[in-house]
Amino acid sequence: MSAVAQYRTYLCDYLEKNHNMKPKQFFQCINPQHTDNNPSMMFTDKYNICHCFSCGVSYDIFDVVGIDYHLDNFRDQLLKIQELYLGYVPVIKSTSNVDNKLYDYTNYFKRCVKNISKTNYLQQRGIPENLIKKYGIGYDEERSLVVFPINKNCYFARSTISKDKIKSRGKSDIWNKKYLEESNKNDLIYVTEGIIDSLSLEVIDPNIKTISINGVGNINQLVYELKNNNFNGTIVITFDNDGPGIQASKLLKKELTKINVNSFSNTLISSFGADECNDLNKALLIDKDRLKANYEYANTAYMRFLEKNNNKEEGIEIG
Ligand SMILES: [Zn+2]
């Protein structure tokens, strides 16, 4: 790796130290022209850049150092970085994005499925047997992880003894991505932050089409997949009813408008107090009937909207 390429990988460290960045979270946009009232910038280790979802800029470490120290030519920026990192090499945290290899987890999943009865993690979250079977959800006893296979090359897991959320090594994917690949204009796809939220929706409507992006930090992956698959259905964003969830909903809605994907944004849990619950799974546990009523009310309205819209396109008069 050339010295310049090496320095590019320092961006994460630089942002953490100088721009108060936390991994996988939005932080204040660095662009001096942009007054970023809600943090809209995110770092991606795939390209070692930070991108602002609001004003659209993308910066590498040379750009950022150039802005911070008012250095407008590359040579001065390079010298500054050398000075900042003189005798100090930051530890580059490897995340799954860096490793795009394919690993086959088929056998691991089989072992985990055999052990699923050794945990009651899913029962405690109101996820029934039929969904556990349908998705081949398993339990890794050694690591105390509930394992959600996404496809044979990728899984997502949650610790049963801590708050840890784990992504498999290698390329990561969206839960139920198939719904994006075979879309039609009558499709209504519910996007959630986490798999447990998607499963909670499936408990109240077994016919729902729901996908999960596994963390609000992955909205750009969703936008990429929608574009890539020429998605022509409608998205309902049902992220958590908390600060990061609300902010991510706004940003995602903006990105969807840019790529001409119709969307609605609805937590489905606004009738629950914010102190009572902020995600779909908690709502399911607190009051399943109320969550179901909220969902059915919203879903009916969206379906009616789609029907009207699609009929209009086909030139059918509706009375
Ligand atoms: Zn910006």
CA–centroid distance, 254 to ligand 1, in Å, is 13
Percent of the chain topping pLDDT 70: 93
CA–centroid distance, 66 to ligand 1, in Å, is 16
Distance CA 196, CA 177 (A): 16
Adjacent-strand bridge partners of 263: 235
Mean local confidence (pLDDT), 230-236: 96
| 90 has pLDDT over 80 | no
**Do 306 and 188 form a contact (C-beta atoms < 8 A)?**
yes
pLDDT at 2: 77
CA–centroid distance, 211 to ligand 1, in Å, is 28
Percent of the chain topping pLDDT 90: 69
pLDDT at 170: 74
pLDDT at 141: 95
pLDDT digits (tens, 9 = 90+) for 166-211: 888 777 789 999 999 988 999 999 999 999 999 999 999 999 999 9
What's the mean pLDDT when you consider all of the chain?
90
Which domains, ranges and CATH numbers included, belong to the chain?
A: 3-84 (3.90.580.10), 106-167 (no CATH), 178-313 (3.40.1360.10)
Mean local confidence (pLDDT), 102-123: 95
Q: Which residues surround ligand 1, an ion (CB under 5 A)?
A: 29, 31, 34, 52, 54-55
